[in-house]
Chain A
């Protein structure tokens, strides 16, 4: 399965961010989904041993976003505009989780995407749906996106 590139700074996937979760994402074309296996470090606690709702949201945001890259077109750039998160059960820190993302609708300018976090036994702990929009050029310039994209890479195992 094809591995997606990771950014430098991003705290979920980044290769150059000391506290990044170093999540690697894979394109599962057969299932029509992207997925990652990740452990939320203890620093992501809200309650002891249980991830803060915001960290859960971060993983769902990243994973649902990455579903728009399932076709391998990593030039497609969008930004999350809205997200709706359902916390069904506590999501543990310090334990492997499987996070899966898929696209509901995709056009040139917008996408509706979804993701869910599962324990290794398949129990779903949280789900999201998000609306992504193509950002204006000014935003990409402000982020110095071209320079940033040049340092994206596929992490070796």
Chain B
């Protein structure tokens, strides 16, 4: 499985963000999915012992986004325009979770992707479907993407 690059600041994958979950994503070519094993720290509790719905949304968003990189084209940039999630069961913090993302439809300017969070026994706790669009160049400039790009890379273990 190919490890996908991580960013510097991103709240989910960022390597230089103290609060980041530092999630690492792998492309599973056989199943055409991206996968990550992550633990949500208890500082992201909503209810005691359970992740805030927004954190669940964050993991679903990230995995749904990263599905567009399954073919290894990491220059493809899109942003989430709409995210629909279902919180089926409480998502525990401080326990390993498997997050999986895949593509439903993709073209040059838009993509529809999906993701799911599972406990290690396979129980699905939450699901998402995202609509992604290619952002205007002005957005990438506003984010200082040029400056960021050198830090966007595959970090060794």
> Which A residues form the contact surface with B (CB < 8 A)?
9-12, 14, 17-19, 42-50, 52-55, 57-62, 79-87, 90, 139, 142-145, 148
Q: Are B52 and A62 in contact (CB under 8 A)?
A: yes
State the Cβ distance, B100 to closest chain A Cβ, in Å: 16
On chain B, the residues within 8 Å of A142 by CB distance are 49, 90
**Listed stretches B24-32, B38-46, B105-113; interface member:** B38-46
Interface presence of B114 (CB below 8 A): no
Q: Are A52 and B10 in contact (CB under 8 A)?
A: yes
Instruction: Say yes or no: A45-B9 contact (C-beta < 8 A), given A10-B45, A80-B87.
Output: yes
Interface presence of B155 (CB below 8 A): no
Q: Are B143 and A84 in contact (CB under 8 A)?
A: no
On chain B, the residues within 8 Å of A80 by CB distance are 53, 87
Q: Are A12 and B52 in contact (CB under 8 A)?
A: yes
State the Cβ distance, B138 to closest chain A Cβ, in Å: 10
State the Cβ distance, B59 to closest chain A Cβ, in Å: 7
On chain B, the residues within 8 Å of A145 by CB distance are 47-48
Rounded to whole angstroms, the CA-CA distance of A53 and B63 in the bound complex is 12
On chain A, the residues within 8 Å of B86 by CB distance are 81-82
State the Cβ distance, B142 to closest chain A Cβ, in Å: 7
Rounded to whole angstroms, the CA-CA distance of A12 and B11 in the bound complex is 15
Rounded to whole angstroms, the CA-CA distance of A83 and B139 in the bound complex is 26
Q: Are B11 and A46 in contact (CB under 8 A)?
A: yes
Interface presence of B2 (CB below 8 A): no
Interface class of chain B by DSSP: mixed
Q: Are A61 and B54 in contact (CB under 8 A)?
A: yes
When the two chains form the complex, which single residue of A17, A18, A50, A139 contacts B45, counting CB atoms closer than 8 Å? A17
Instruction: Give the 5 A-B CB pairs with smallest separation, nearest first.
Output: A54-B58, A58-B54, A57-B57, A43-B19, A47-B143
Rounded to whole angstroms, the CA-CA distance of A139 and B82 in the bound complex is 29
On chain A, the residues within 8 Å of B59 by CB distance are 54
Q: Are B82 and A87 in contact (CB under 8 A)?
A: yes
When the two chains form the complex, which single residue of A11, A48, A55 contacts B148, counting CB atoms closer than 8 Å? A48
Q: Are B19 and A19 in contact (CB under 8 A)?
A: yes
CB-CB contacts below 8 Å: B131-157 with A: 139, 142-145, 147-148
Rounded to whole angstroms, the CA-CA distance of A83 and B85 in the bound complex is 5
Rounded to whole angstroms, the CA-CA distance of A44 and B18 in the bound complex is 10
Rounded to whole angstroms, the CA-CA distance of A11 and B58 in the bound complex is 13
Q: Are A53 and B57 in contact (CB under 8 A)?
A: yes
Interface presence of B124 (CB below 8 A): no
Interface presence of B116 (CB below 8 A): no
- Which single residue of chain B is at the shortest CB-CB distance from A18? B43
